[in-house]
Structure formats: C-alpha cells, structure tokens
Structure 1
Amino acid sequence: MSEQLPNKKKRWPYVLGGIVLLLVVVVAVALWRLDAFLLQRARLEATKFSQTLGRPVEIGDISTQLVPHVGVEVENVVVGAAEGEQVPLAELKRLDVSVALWPALTSRGQDIQVKNAEVSGLTVNVVRLPDGTTNVSRLMEKLDPQQPPEEQPPAEEQPTDLSAVRVDRAALTDATIRLIDRSEAQARELAISDLDVEVKDLRAGKPLEVLLHAAVLAQKQNFHITLKTTPLPPTLIPVPERVVIKSEPIDLSPLGPFLGPDVGLQAGTLSADWTAELGAAVPGGNGPTKLQGGLRAQGLRFAGAEGGKALDMLLDTDVTGDMKTGDLSLGKLLMELGPARLTGKGQVKGLLTEKPAVQDFELVGQNLDPALLAEYYPPLRKQLANQIAGPIGLVVKGGGTQEAQALTAEMDLTPVRLRIPEQLSKEAGTPMQLTARLTGAAASGGALRFDAKANLAGVDMRPGLLLDKRPGQTFTVDTAGTYQPASGKAPLKVDLSRLNVALLESTLSGKASVALAGEGAKQTTTFSLALKSPRLDADELLMTDEEIAAVAGPAGAPKEGEEAPEDPKRFNGMRGDMLFEIGALRMSGMELSNMVAELKMVDDLITVERFTTGVYGGTVSAGGSSVRLGPPAAQRPFELKAEVRGMNVAQALSDRVPRKVLDGKFDGQMNLSGVGYEMESLKERLVGAIDGNLLGGAFVGLDIPAAVSGPLVKALPFAGKALNSEGVTQLAEQLPFGVTIKNGVAQLSKPITWTRPEAAMSFDGGIRLDGTLDLAGTVNLGPPLVQKLTLGRATPSEPIPVALKLTGKAWSPEVTGLDVKPAAVAIAKMAAAGAATELLGDKGKEVGKIITGGTDAAKQAAQAEVEKRKQEAAEKAKQEAEAARKKAEEEAKKRLKGIFGR
C-alpha cells in the first residue's frame, strides 16, 4: 500500500494537463463554430446587400480571437462587377480589429481599448465605360431611388461622451484606387497607389495626428497631408489645429475623364507646399493663426473654354494673426485665379482693443468678375445661373488719424449685373456701393465697433414680390454698432446702435440687435428691433396684387415643378421683440396716425403686446392679438382682440363696399379668430363676436318707412299719399348691438330696436361676410305718419305694425316679404270708423269700435309674421350648421385617408 501512494501523487500533472487540453479543444471547437456561424451570417447579409447594389458581394473568411485580445479578422471581401463592367468595384484583402479583453471586462464596457484597427490591401476600381459614365456613377444612380424619404430630423441630443474609448492605432495601408478608361478602343489604366492613412493614440485629452501619404499617378508617394488637432474633448470631435499639404508636381490630365463631363478637365498640373497653423481662426481653436507657403495649379484647361484658354491658380501666403487681440500681418498674400487677383500687405495691431494701429495695410481685388472666369472654366456659367456678371471692386485700407486709426472696406458693384431669383436684379452701370469702417473694440477685448453705409439706388427689388422699389429710386442704409464673435458658450452678437433707412420717400431710424447661439435644431436667434418714422407710405413701398401678378404670373400661382412649401417649423428658435412708432402711416388706403406697435415673437407666434393708432377719425387698440407665421398664408391661424372708439363707419367701409352703407361713429370691442386672410377661408372659419354702439347712425341706401308706405298706400281702398323717399333710414342716436360670427354669418345676438318720430323699427337675423342681408323685422308706423299717409282719413290711437324682410347686398338692399294687408285692413276700418263718428257723433264711436276691432288684428298678424321669420331663420341656421359639420367630417376622413394611405 505504501508503495502505491507516490505513484498516485505523480498522476496529478497528467490529470491537470488533460483538463487543460480538454479546455483548449473545447475553446477551439467553440471558436471554430463561432467563426462558421459568423461567416454564415455575414454571407447571408452580403447576399441581401448584393441585391441592393446590383452587383455580387463575397466574403472569403472570418476568424475570431478571444485571448489575449478580443479580435476579428475578415479576409477577401469583394464587391463584384455589374453587367458590362468586367472588373470588381472593390477588393479588400484583410480587415483586422482587436480590443483589449481584460479592461473591457473589469470596467463592464466602460473602458474600450482598441489595440489595432487596420484595413490592408484595399483596391477600388473606378471604370469609365464606353458611354462616358463610370461604375461609381451607375452605383450612385441605383442607390438614389432606394433612399428613404426625408423625414423631419429628430431634436438634437447631447453629444455622446466617448472618453472611455481609446484607439492605439487605426490605419489604412497599401490601398489603391485604379482608374480604368474603357471609353476608347485602347483601354488605359492609371492608379493612385501606395495609399496609407494612419492614426495613433486616439483618446480624449490627447491631440490627434492623422497622416496621409499616396502615390498619385506615380511610382512612389508624392502627395502628403498631415492633420493635427487640439486635445480631443470627451466627444472625440476634433478641432483642427495644424494642416500641412505637400505635393510634388502632379500631371492632372489623365484624371480629367474620371472627373466627368460636368468638370471637363483636359490638362493641368498641381503642386503644393502649404502649412496652416489655424489657432483661434476655427471654432474651438486657440492661439495665433499662421499661413505659410502656397498651392499652385498651372495650365488648367477645360472643355469649352473660349479659345482654349488655360487657367492658372496660385495661393502664396505669409500671414500671421491673433483673433484675441485683433493682430494681422500680411507679409505676403497673393491669390490668383486666372485674370482675378487679390493682393494684400501691411499690418494691423490691436483691432480688438480700443485703439488699433494700422501700418501700410492694403487688400485689393482686381478683375473679380465671375463671368470672365467662366471663359476659362465653363461649368461656372451653370453654377452662376447667369446671376452675376461684371467686375467687383474691393479695396480694404488703413486710414484715420494717428489717434483714431481704422480699417475701411469699400465694395463697388456698380459695374456688375445681378439677377438674384426671387430677390433682386440690377443692370450694369447702376449704382450699388458698400462702405464699412472698423474702428477697434468698444472695450478692451470687447466687441468690434463698426459703421457701414450702403447705396442700393441701382437695385430693382420687385423680383422679391414685396418692395415696389425700381432702379434709380432712393434706397440707402446707414448703420453703426458692434460685432461680437461667438466664443465658448457666449453667442455671436451684433448690436446696431444706429440704423437709418431711406427708401423712396420714406425714412426709418432706430436700433436693432441679434444674437445666434447653439447649432442645428437647437440654434436660437434672439433679436430686438425698434424703429421710428415720421411718415411711412406702405402703399407706395409695397407691391400691389396686380404688380405681383405682372412679375410672377397670374396671382403669383406656383408653377409645376416649383420647390415644396416652406417648412412650417422654419421659425423655431426665433425669439424677439419689435417696436414700431410711426407718426403717419398709409396702408391699404387707410390713414393711420400716431401708431405704436409692440410685438413679441416666440418661434412662429407673433403676439401683439401693445397696439394703438388713430384711424378713420377714431382710435383702435389691439393688445392681445396674435398670428402664427409657420403655416402657408391661407392656413395661418390668427386671433384679433380690438377696442374701437369714435371710428367713422362710413370712412371705414368706403374702400370695402361699392357704395355707402352706414353713417355714424362706432364704439365697441371685437374678439375674432380665424384661419387665413382670403374671404373664402374666412367665410368658413371666422368666429367670434362684435359688441358696441353706433352713435348718430343712419342706414344709407334705403328709406325703410318710405319703402313700406308705397305698397301700403296702394293696398288701401281709398286714395292716400306715399312718403317721398330720402334714401336714408335714420337710426337711434345710440344704437347698441351685438353680433356673433360663425359659418360666414354675423348673427345679431338680440334684435336691434330703435324709435324715430315717424316709426319704431325692430330687426333680427344676420349679415353674411360678403355683405348679403338676411334681416326680418317690423316697422311700427306712428299715428302721425298713418294720418299723413291716409290724408287725414285715419288716425290710429297706437302704431300700426308691418312685417318685412331686408335682403340683397347691404349697399343695395331690397325689401322683400312685405305683408301690408293686415295693416291696410286695419287702417281702412279706422277710416270707416272715423267717417261713422263724423256722421253719427257719439253713436258713431260705438259703431267705429265694432268696425275696427281695435288694432289688435294688425298687431297679431305682424307678430305672427315675425315669429314665422324667426322660425325660418332658426331652421336655416340649423341646416347650415349641419352642413358645416358634415363638411368638417368629410375633411377629417380625407386627412385620415391620406395618413393611412387607404
């Protein structure tokens, strides 16, 4: 027994070795099965992707690794050729990615260390086919229809914190771009080869350096770019700090066919030796800015150039500057683009201080004529779309006294012809100049002070379909203020302490400011504007509908193929206050006086904080009104809240009706809401109420008592005399009324009643927004009037009622539904009773009572007619409301149908 124990103890290494071997086998089998599974899935996805690309996609092999690093290696990926292309689009020999396992496990995914990510042996074949297209352009055309429709971009989220990610090395090595030209009988092949891109030690808090080297149409590397950034933030979004471009002379002629016919490059060479220390010149950068060296492109010849002209391009710089202090030194600045030339020299020190110093500073542009450049580079004509032609004059110089130096910039566009669609136009030779002067900072390190003047006399603003400003008419702008660039969290801000505008015969003066903060969907624009004018003629300044139609076509109707409607959320992020004070304003034929308007804007909502003005002999205040600018004009919701005092009704209606309707003055309140400004929309969607008093009023165009008297006299069994019509119905000295507006009808809240010496009148019903009357009521003829109509034969003891309706347009009313029979019978009986009394004395009085039966019959008949009319009006209103409800339901069903596509 004792001899066997040592043997047993010696067996444990074999057992342990067996276990280890078993684990290795298990892991190997697991990795083998994992590799097989991943390869199967990848090839399945590649097959689906092949259908999208219209060309085969193949994956050779996938292998994974778990220790000591988690890694994956993909080999021999091929994106094949489509029909007629003969060579694959792309080939990849190997993709290798490895991530440190232990830090990822112990940190639960919070520490991701990519040890290496390398793409090697990538070859991209760009083939120019016999029809002049390329395999790349064909691929893009196939992918374009498959793009999903654009959706509203989601609201921006906070940038992702990637400080846990570290990449020790990422590289693209030994890549090749083959350029194969099969458009001619003899195929040609070029290459951008030996392409290497390498990034090392990518992590938050460390600067990033990217190196790119390539052999462009050469046997060895001849093109080099180095990019260095500031220390990366937690988001790993880089801020460039230094860019170096070096290139030996490269013949660009062979590349021409692959740039496509839109470019049309036929010849040219490129060389570069340029270094840019960007510093604070880029957002987020710091320190001075330096530009050294240059870029040169010579003998660039493009298809269609006039006379085969060759274009030379040159950038030669020795420039240093400091954005914090406003220092700028132009040791050399030369930019040449064919005949166009920009040169600079001299120094500016302390531009962002209170007292800048300028030494022999000059920046001059010569032959800056886009149309002239298009003679060398014909595609520029299409890009310009005939919008600009003629030399632009540009001169920036130092000036001022020794104690107050400044930079003055002058731009002269007088020789230039402009055609900016939907904005403006200008003929060559008509005046257009801009002069700006920079005079240092408002305080040390503060905002930059400036003043500027613009003369736009030669500009035609009518293409913008707003201002009726023609060439030769006055248009000048004179401003002064400060400019504060964005810095850190501080927004870009412009303050205009002086803003003077002279436009035609009108002048405006005031101040303004604007601040831009944030980016993308979170960008906010905060502004303020305060303007004053002694007199402003908006009817003179703004184009009429007829003028707009003459420029833009009938009613400015959109043409087929025009751009989609503007985004209703285009005003999101706008925040501002506006104040307008105008002594006299003419607008839409109205003469407003002492107008004060204080408005607030939040996104697309404009709210009237305060509005007062004199108009039509009275005053109007409209605080609390609002409108939304986002929807199209025909769909913009608005709310109008106004108080009116002493407004002359005849003047207010004079431009809106063909003939006078009402006289008198109006005191009251309006509370209305609706959608759109066109009458058709208002008829359906305007709702609200108007309440007030009409003082000293008269209904012009119809003498109601006279209109009743004629038919009444004719219905009498004896001769009478109708009233001579004066064409006017005098109303009460104070006529209170209220209307509710709905479904295109202004309905009286309660009957309006007034009494004149000759008659008392009462009406109920409504008036449509197009001016159509629908009023039913009674006219109570006073005893003196009845006596006058009957030539003294009948003198009733109380008024005689007559029922009638007023229809037609308000400016051309008609009396309809007039029922004079009950009144005529009552009056005839009264006349007979009067005759009996005259013949029989007191006995005749008793006979008269029996004959007449009083005036009760006439009253009852009139009242019955009024009730009948009320019932008819109520039934009509009910039918219209039901029709409106059904229409709304139909519109809702149509919208749902559009949403669900059924």
Structure 2
Amino acid sequence: MMSQQPLKKKRWPYILGGVVLLLVVAGAIALWRLDAFLLERARAEAATYAKQLGRPIEIGDVSTRLLPSVGAEVENVVVGAAEGEPVPLLEMKRLEVAVALWPALTSGGKDIQVKNAEVSGLTLNYVQLPDGTTNVSRVQDKLAEQPPAEEPADEAPTDLSAVRVDRAAITDATLRLVDRTGAQPRELAINDLDVEVKDLRAGKPLEVVLHAAVLTDKQNFHVTLNAAPLPPSLIPVPERLVIQSEPIDLTPLGPFLGPEVGLQAGSLRADWKAELGAAVPGGNGPTSLQGGLQARGLRFAGAEGGKALDVVVDTDVSGDMKAGDLSLKKLLLELGPARLTGKGEVKGLLSEAPSMKDFELVGENLDPELLAEYYPPLRKSLANQVAGPVGLVVKAEGTQQEQALNVDVDLTPVRLRIPEQLSKEKGGPMRLTARVTGAAASGGALRFEAKTDLGGVDMRPGGLLNKRPGQTFTVDTAGTYQPESGKSPLKVDLGRLNVALLDTTLTGKASVAMAGEGAKQTTTFSLSMKSPRINADELMVEDEPESEGKAPTEEPPSDPQRFKGMSGDVHLEIGALRMSDMDFSNMLVDVKMKDDLITVERFTTGVYGGTVSASGSSVRMGPPAAERPFELKAEVKGMDMAEALASRVPKKVLGGKFDGQMNLQGVGYETESLKERLAGAIEGNLAGGVFFGADLPAVVSGPLVKALPFAGKALSSEGVTQLAEQLPFGVKIQNGVAQLSKPITWTRPEAAMSFDGGIRLDGTLDLAGSVNLQPSLVQKLTLGKVTPPEALPVAMKLTGKAWSPEVTGLDVMPAVTTLAKLAAAGAATSLLGDKGKQVGQIITGGTDAAKEAARAEAEKRKQELEEKARQEAEAARKKAEEKAKDKLKGIFKR
C-alpha cells in the first residue's frame, strides 16, 4: 500500500492538463464562433453600404484574438467596380488592430491602449472613364443622393485622454491612376505610400510622417507634420510642416488632370519648412517660412505661343504675431510675369513705438488677363470678371519718432465685371490707401487710417445702390485693430467712420468683436451714425416689376440660425430722410440685436406734419421674410391723414389730424400674409376730420326726395362729409380685418351719423349705419312742407373701396312713409284746427316707425358682421392647422 501512494499523487498534472486543454478547445470554439458571427455582421453591413455606393463590397475574412492582446484582423476587403469600370475602386489586403487586454479590463474600459493599428496593401484605383467621368465622381454622386444626416447638437469636444495609440500606420499603399479616355489605356502610380503616427496620446506631441514614390519606384516625396502636445480631445494644433520632394516630372499627370486643366509638361521640386506658431488657430509662438518650391516649364493647352509658366515660391520669412514683428529676409512669389517681392523688417508693430528698416512689399504685373496667356483655364475660372494690372505697394516711412506702414492698392487700371455686385471700366477710380502707425497706448491694439475711393465703380448690378460710374463714393476710417489672443477676442474699433455717397454724407463710429469658432462663435458690434440729409429713394435701386409670364425669382432658403451669437446696438441720427416717397425729419433711432431678435429701444421722427414714436417694437430676422414675426408699438401725434394716405390710395380718403396708439402683431411683410395674420388694436382721435369718399347727407337726400309723394328738392353734393371736430375711435384687428370696437358717431348741423363694421387692409369698406336727418334739413328737403319733431333716421351701408365707396342697402321708405304721414297730419291740422292735431297724431304714429326700422336694420347688420367675423376666424384657424400638418409631414418625411 505504501508503494502505490506516489502513483496517486502524480495524477493531478493530467487532470490540470485536461482542464487546460478543455479551456483551450472551448476558447478556440468560442473564437471560431465569434469570428463567424463578426464576419456575418461585417458582410451584412457591407451589403448595406454597397447599395448606397452602387458597387459591390466584399470582405474576405475576420479573425480575432484575446491573448496576449485583444485584436482583430480584417482581410481582403474589396470595394468593387461599378458597371463599365475596369478595376475595383479600392482593395485592402489587411487591417490589423491590437488593444492591450489587461488595462482595458482593470479600468472598466476607461484605459484603451492601442498597441498597433495598421492598414497594409491598400490600393486605390482612380479611373478616368471614356465619358469623362471618374469612378470617384460616381461614388460622390451616389453619396449625394442619400438623405442628409442630421447635424449633431453643439457639444463640447469628447474627452479622449484615456485613449493611447502606440502606433497607427498605412503601409505599402498605392494610388493607381488609370486613363481610359484615349484609344490606348494609360496607367500611372504613386507607389510605396507610407503614413505613420507613433505614441498618440493626450499630453504628448504628435508627429505624422508621409513618404511616397510619386511616378517612380523610389520614394521621392516626404511630408512631416508636427503638432503641439495633444489636448484631451486629441484634436491637434499644427506647429511644424516640412515638405520635401526630389524633382518630379509632372508631364505624365496631364491626362489625369483633365482637359479643363490641359497640362502638357512641367516639373516640380520642393524643399519648404514652416514653423506655424500663432499663425494657426490655437497656436503660439513665432512663425517662420523657409525654403520654397519650384514648378518649372508648365505648359498648358491653348497657351499663347506655347508659353511656359514658371511658378516659384522662395521664402525666408519670420515673424511674431503677438509682438508685431515681421522679417522678410527673402520673399519671392512668381507666377510667370507676375511677381510679389518683399524685403526689410518691422519690429514692435503692436507696441506704441514700432521700428522699421527698409521694409517693402511690391506687386508687379498682377494682371489675371496676362496670366491667362500662360494658363488659359484662368479665363474660364474668372469668367472675364477681372482684367488689368493690380497695383500693390506696402512701404515703411516716417521719422524715428513716428514710423508707419503705408499700403496702396490701386485697381484704377483694372476692369471688373462681378455679377450681381459691381462693374468698373479700366481707368475708373478705385483705390485703397491705408496707414498703420503702431499700437495704441491701451491694450496693444494696432492703429490705422484708411481711405477708399470707389468713384469709378458702378454699384447698380448689386441691386442695392443706385451709384453710377463717376459719382462720389468714398469711405474714410481710422481706428484700431486688436488680433485675437488667448481669451481676448479679435476686435476692430473705428473711431472715425465717414462715408460720402452721391450727395449724402454720414459720420460716426463703429466697432466689432469676434470670439470663438464655428457654432460657438460670437460677434458683438456697435454702430453710431449721423447725417444731415439722406435721400434713400435716390440712393436705392428701384425694384423691377416681374415680367408677365415670368415666374418670380425664389431666394434660396437661409439658415434660421445664421444670427446665433450676434449681439449689438445701432444708433442713428438723421436730420431729414426721404424714403418710399415719405419725408421724415429729426429721426432718432436706437436698436438692439440679440441673436435674431431686433428690438427698437427708441424711435422718434417727424412725418406728415406730426410725430411718430415706435419704441418697444421688435422683429425676428431668423425665419424667411414671409414668416418673420413682428410687433409694432407706435404712438402718433398730429399726423395729417390726407398726406399720410396720399401716396397709398389713388384718391383722397380722409383728412384731419390723427393722435393715437397702435399695438400690432403680425407675420411677414407681404400684404397677402398680413391679410391673414395681422392682429392688434388702434386707439385714437381724429381732429377736424373730413371723409372725401362721399357727401353722405346728399347721397341720402336724392333717393329720399325722389320717393316723396309730393315735390321736394335734394341737396347739391359737396363731395365730402364733414366729421366731428373731435372723433375718438377704437379698432381691433384680427386676421387682417380692422373692426370698430364700438360704433363711431358724430353730429353735424344738418345730420347725425353713426356707423359700425370694419375695413380690410386693401381699403375695402364693410360699414353699416344710419344718417339721421335733422328737422331743419328735412324742412329744406320738403320745401317747408314737413318739419319733423326730431331727427329722421335713414339706414344705409358703405362698401367698396374707401376712396370710391358704394352706398348700398339704402332704405328710405320708412322715412318717406313718416314724412307723408307728417305732411297729411299737417294738412289735417290746417283744415280742422285742434281736432286736426289729434287726427295727425293718429296718422303719423310719431317718428317711431322710422326709428324702429333703423334699429332693426342696425341689429341685422350687427348679426351679419358677427357671423362673418366668426366664419373668417374659423377659416384662418383651419388654414393654420393645415400649414402645421404640412410642416409635420415634411419633418417625418425627412
């Protein structure tokens, strides 16, 4: 028994080995199933993308591993050829990713260490097809057909500080260029393309290296990009860029650049290094550019006389944007005959006492028309918009105590044809001169003065200013410029801003400050201007009416968020302003803007013999013009209504002086929109009012006299109706219809009048009421036969346009009956004496019948108006519901 004990003890290695073997087998089976599952999912996703791209996508294999690191390999990926294409778009032999397992497990996925991420054997085939398209352009067209993805919400950059990549690379990649446009296919290649990044992590500098063999078997093109230590977002800030290339013959590339370029010959060589510093957003430190590039003997199809173009960039430039230092040891830019040369240095430009030495920047033969002789496609790209030499000179001058940079840009010899903006003939004055004299005492802001002369420019093509060539247009400014630095925004202050345009002069000041980028950018501005006189009708181009049968031009939709981040204020003082045939005086305006909301803090002006104040009004500028909501709050004093309406109606409508308040809300500016959506109230008083539309007592007297059973005489019409000396009224506006809050009533010696109802925005009347003829007027109309004991009412309606009203519903019969009875009673009294009076009372029944008829007509008319208002409100509600449904349908369709 003692001899068998050791044998039992030796069984455990076998058991352990069996367990390990079982785990290995189980792990292998699990990985095999995982690989199969991942391959199936990858191919399913590939099928979806294949439909979007219009070409097959194949994935050869997917394999995973868990030890010693978590990894995955994807092999033999092919984005195939579409119909008519000879080769696949893209081929990739292998993609390998390896992630350290233990740190990922122990940190709960918060520490991701990518040991290696490498793409090898990548080939991109760029094919020019016989129809002139390329396989890449076909892919772009397919992608453009896809519905646009929703833009992500404005969020802070993702914190990726837990991610570390030891190495990421593309190795042995190839870009094949295949030309199938000719009788014989041609091929070129950029081979041996390698891109590598090492030790990518937050807090570490970044270096990206690219090497490629361009049109040769040996790597001859090299690019190195260095970035500052990466932030937690891993978004790099470039610090250094180096480009080096051995001489490359560009001639074989010509067919692949297309006939629109027409390159026939040329070579390229580069040896250029840039220390970017503060010249890039987020960068710091000095900037320097050293070395350059040379593109020699560039010949293009159609060049005049077969001229060859040499492009040379040779720089030895350094500077510090924060200090305002710039040194031009060498600056040469050549484009054939065009040259830009610089020399000298500037120090401390952002200080109060800059120093300058032999500084000069000069442009020669900067003429696009001349360059087009070497490079004909320039004519098409410029569309013949610019021709003639541009003069550019920047020089330093002044004493040691006061040095300055003078800038002179002269476009006088240039012909300009900028569509829908401006035009100018050669010789027409167009010049900018500026003087920079160093930083101001406060904050290191650069001081400058600038004058612009646009006398030779025709601004009418822009559709805004009616400024012809030869007319005055100058801008004279002086101020400071503060570049963006750290938390300080870019800021421009114009302490002097003088504008002379035709006969108009404006003086004032302005400022603008910009901070942040993209969706987080903020813009703050301020503008204050004064002018003794502005004739806007003379300055502005009149809108041309749309031709018959021609569809109106539709403006492209604007981004409703385009004003986000904008804020500022505007102050205007204008002695006299003529605009839209209206003459304003002593105009004072204070406006504030916050995002798209514009609020009028103060607006006062004299107009039409009175004054108007619109303080508290507002409008939102974000929505399209037809959908912009506004609120108008205005107070009017002493406005001459005849003058105010003269330019808006074909005939006189109303006279008198108006005092009142308006509080209106609406959407859009067009009449059709306001008819449906204008609402609010107007309260006021009309002093010395006159209605020029009709002489209402005379209008009533004609039919009345004609219907009498005895002879009478109608009033001769004076064409107007005198209103009360003081006529208070109130109007409520709903769905574009102005409805009287209560009937307006006034009494004249000849008649008392009362009307209720409303008026539409197009001037259509919808009023009902009565004209109550005074006893003295009735006596006159009946040639003394009848003198009623009280006013005699006659019901009527006013419809049609206010300047040419129509009298309808005129019911004179109750009044005629009353007058006939009164006449009979008068005759009975004359014949029978006191007994006749009793007979007369029985005959007439007083004037109650006429009164009752008028009251009945007024009640009927009131009910009609109430029903009409209810129907219009219901129609507007249904229309708004339909619009809302259409918008919801549009949203869900997207």
TM-score of the pair, normalised by structure 2 = 0.95
**Partners of 2:697 and 2:751 within 8 A in 1:** yes
Aligned mates of 1:451, 1:334 — CA distance in 2: 28
Q: For each residue in 1:511-561, what CA deviation from the matched residue of structure 2 results, as whole angstroms up to 9, or x when unmatched?
A: 11112222222222221111111111111112222xx34xx86799555xx
SS in 2 for 1:710: helix
**Partners of 2:52 and 2:143 within 8 A in 1:** no
- After TM superposition, give the deviation of residue 45 of structure 1 in Å: 3.9
The yes-or-no answer on 1:431 pairing with 2:423 is no
The yes-or-no answer on 1:348 pairing with 2:340 is no
Aligned pairs for 1:585-596 (under 5 A) are 585-596=577-588
Instruction: Pick from 765, 769, 779 the counterpart of residue 757 of structure 2.
Output: 765
Aligned pairs for 1:826-845 (under 5 A) are 826-845=818-837
Aligned pairs for 1:662-701 (under 5 A) are 662-701=654-693
Greater Cα shift, 198-207 or 569-578? 569-578
- After TM superposition, give the deviation of residue 53 of structure 1 in Å: 4.1
- After TM superposition, give the deviation of residue 356 of structure 1 in Å: 0.9
- After TM superposition, give the deviation of residue 755 of structure 1 in Å: 1.1
- After TM superposition, give the deviation of residue 159 of structure 1 in Å: 0.4
Give the 3 Å change call, closer, same or farther, for CA 113–666 of structure 1 in structure 2.
same
Aligned pairs for 1:215-364 (under 5 A) are 215-364=213-362
Aligned mates of 2:798, 2:166 — CA distance in 1: 91
Aligned pairs for 1:129-140 (under 5 A) are 129-140=129-140
SS in 2 for 1:764: strand
- After TM superposition, give the deviation of residue 479 of structure 1 in Å: 1.2
Q: For each residue in 1:351-385, what CA deviation from the matched residue of structure 2 results, as whole angstroms up to 9, or x when unmatched?
A: 01011111111101111122322332233233223
Instruction: Pick from 470, 473, 476 the counterpart of residue 474 of structure 2.
Output: 476
Structure 1: which 4+ aligned runs deviate by more than 6 Å? 552-556
- After TM superposition, give the deviation of residue 456 of structure 1 in Å: 1.2
Specify the alignment match of 2:125 in structure 1.
Answer: 125
Q: For each residue in 1:554-574, what CA deviation from the matched residue of structure 2 results, as whole angstroms up to 9, or x when unmatched?
A: 799555xx7732223322222
- After TM superposition, give the deviation of residue 345 of structure 1 in Å: 0.5
Give the 3 Å change call, closer, same or farther, for CA 755–230 of structure 1 in structure 2.
same
Aligned mates of 2:9, 2:875 — CA distance in 1: 102
Aligned mates of 1:229, 1:696 — CA distance in 2: 80
Greater Cα shift, 238-247 or 717-726? 717-726
Specify the alignment match of 1:168 in structure 2.
Answer: 166
- After TM superposition, give the deviation of residue 445 of structure 1 in Å: 5.7
Give the 3 Å change call, closer, same or farther, for CA 775–255 of structure 1 in structure 2.
same
Specify the alignment match of 2:487 in structure 1.
Answer: 489
Q: For each residue in 1:751-800, what CA deviation from the matched residue of structure 2 results, as whole angstroms up to 9, or x when unmatched?
A: 11111122211111222222222222122222222222222222222222
Aligned mates of 2:82, 2:769 — CA distance in 1: 85
| Paired-residue identity, % | 78
Aligned pairs for 1:561-576 (under 5 A) are 564-576=556-568
SS in 1 for 2:30: helix
Give the 3 Å change call, closer, same or farther, for CA 336–743 of structure 1 in structure 2.
same
**2:414 is matched by which residue type in structure 1?**
V
Greater Cα shift, 629-638 or 272-281? 629-638
Q: For each residue in 1:214-242, what CA deviation from the matched residue of structure 2 results, as whole angstroms up to 9, or x when unmatched?
A: 22122322111111111111111111111
Greater Cα shift, 855-864 or 317-326? 855-864
**Partners of 1:265 and 1:301 within 8 A in 2:** yes
**Partners of 2:52 and 2:146 within 8 A in 1:** no
TM-score of the pair, normalised by structure 1 = 0.94
SS in 2 for 1:658: coil
Specify the alignment match of 1:411 in structure 2.
Answer: 409
**1:144 is matched by which residue type in structure 2?**
L
SS in 1 for 2:533: strand
**1:452 is matched by which residue type in structure 2?**
A
Aligned mates of 1:119, 1:614 — CA distance in 2: 75
**1:75 is matched by which residue type in structure 2?**
E
- After TM superposition, give the deviation of residue 897 of structure 1 in Å: 5.0
Aligned mates of 1:555, 1:439 — CA distance in 2: 59
SS in 2 for 1:26: helix
SS in 2 for 1:232: coil
The yes-or-no answer on 1:72 pairing with 2:64 is no
Aligned mates of 1:94, 1:822 — CA distance in 2: 104
Q: For each residue in 1:284-343, what CA deviation from the matched residue of structure 2 results, as whole angstroms up to 9, or x when unmatched?
A: 112111111110001111223233222110000111111121011111100001221100
- After TM superposition, give the deviation of residue 108 of structure 1 in Å: 1.4
Aligned pairs for 1:735-774 (under 5 A) are 735-774=727-766
Specify the alignment match of 2:29 in structure 1.
Answer: 29
- After TM superposition, give the deviation of residue 592 of structure 1 in Å: 1.1
Q: For each residue in 1:564-601, what CA deviation from the matched residue of structure 2 results, as whole angstroms up to 9, or x when unmatched?
A: 32223322222121111111111112111111111122
SS in 1 for 2:380: helix
Specify the alignment match of 1:641 in structure 2.
Answer: 633
**Partners of 2:53 and 2:143 within 8 A in 1:** no
Greater Cα shift, 676-685 or 471-480? 676-685
Instruction: Pick from 371, 374, 378 the counterpart of residue 373 of structure 1.
Output: 371
The yes-or-no answer on 1:868 pairing with 2:860 is yes
- After TM superposition, give the deviation of residue 145 of structure 1 in Å: 4.7
**1:427 is matched by which residue type in structure 2?**
E
Specify the alignment match of 2:109 in structure 1.
Answer: 109
Greater Cα shift, 216-225 or 294-303? 216-225
Give the 3 Å change call, closer, same or farther, for CA 16–298 of structure 1 in structure 2.
same
Q: For each residue in 1:111-130, what CA deviation from the matched residue of structure 2 results, as whole angstroms up to 9, or x when unmatched?
A: 11111222223233334445
Aligned mates of 1:82, 1:862 — CA distance in 2: 86
**Root mean square deviation of aligned Cα:** 2.4
Aligned pairs for 1:593-604 (under 5 A) are 593-604=585-596
Specify the alignment match of 1:148 in structure 2.
Answer: 147
**Partners of 1:324 and 1:445 within 8 A in 2:** no
- After TM superposition, give the deviation of residue 150 of structure 1 in Å: 5.7
Greater Cα shift, 294-303 or 819-828? 819-828
- After TM superposition, give the deviation of residue 621 of structure 1 in Å: 1.0
The yes-or-no answer on 1:717 pairing with 2:718 is no
**2:804 is matched by which residue type in structure 1?**
S
SS in 1 for 2:428: coil
Q: For each residue in 1:117-168, what CA deviation from the matched residue of structure 2 results, as whole angstroms up to 9, or x when unmatched?
A: 2222323333444555444344444x335432365x2332100111111111
Instruction: Pick from 500, 508, 511 the counterpart of residue 510 of structure 1.
Output: 508
**Partners of 1:329 and 1:345 within 8 A in 2:** yes
**Partners of 1:134 and 1:258 within 8 A in 2:** no
Aligned pairs for 1:779-858 (under 5 A) are 779-858=771-850
**2:303 is matched by which residue type in structure 1?**
A
**1:355 is matched by which residue type in structure 2?**
A
Q: For each residue in 1:394-442, what CA deviation from the matched residue of structure 2 results, as whole angstroms up to 9, or x when unmatched?
A: 1111123321111111111112222223322222221111112211112
- After TM superposition, give the deviation of residue 472 of structure 1 in Å: 1.6
Give the 3 Å change call, closer, same or farther, for CA 226–558 of structure 1 in structure 2.
farther
SS in 2 for 1:3: helix
The yes-or-no answer on 1:703 pairing with 2:702 is no
Give the 3 Å change call, closer, same or farther, for CA 757–87 of structure 1 in structure 2.
closer
Q: For each residue in 1:679-706, what CA deviation from the matched residue of structure 2 results, as whole angstroms up to 9, or x when unmatched?
A: 2222222222111111111212422222
Give the 3 Å change call, closer, same or farther, for CA 443–110 of structure 1 in structure 2.
farther
SS in 2 for 1:572: coil
Greater Cα shift, 278-287 or 708-717? 708-717
Give the 3 Å change call, closer, same or farther, for CA 150–70 of structure 1 in structure 2.
closer
Greater Cα shift, 675-684 or 888-897? 888-897
Instruction: Pick from 568, 581, 586 the counterpart of residue 573 of structure 2.
Output: 581
The yes-or-no answer on 1:420 pairing with 2:418 is yes
Q: For each residue in 1:475-499, what CA deviation from the matched residue of structure 2 results, as whole angstroms up to 9, or x when unmatched?
A: 1111111112222332222111111
Aligned mates of 1:774, 1:703 — CA distance in 2: 18
Aligned mates of 1:38, 1:783 — CA distance in 2: 104
**Partners of 1:694 and 1:734 within 8 A in 2:** yes
- After TM superposition, give the deviation of residue 85 of structure 1 in Å: 4.0
Specify the alignment match of 1:625 in structure 2.
Answer: 617
Aligned mates of 2:548, 2:311 — CA distance in 1: 48
The yes-or-no answer on 1:654 pairing with 2:652 is no
Aligned residues: 894
The gaps in structure 1 that reach 5 residues or longer are: none
Specify the alignment match of 1:732 in structure 2.
Answer: 724
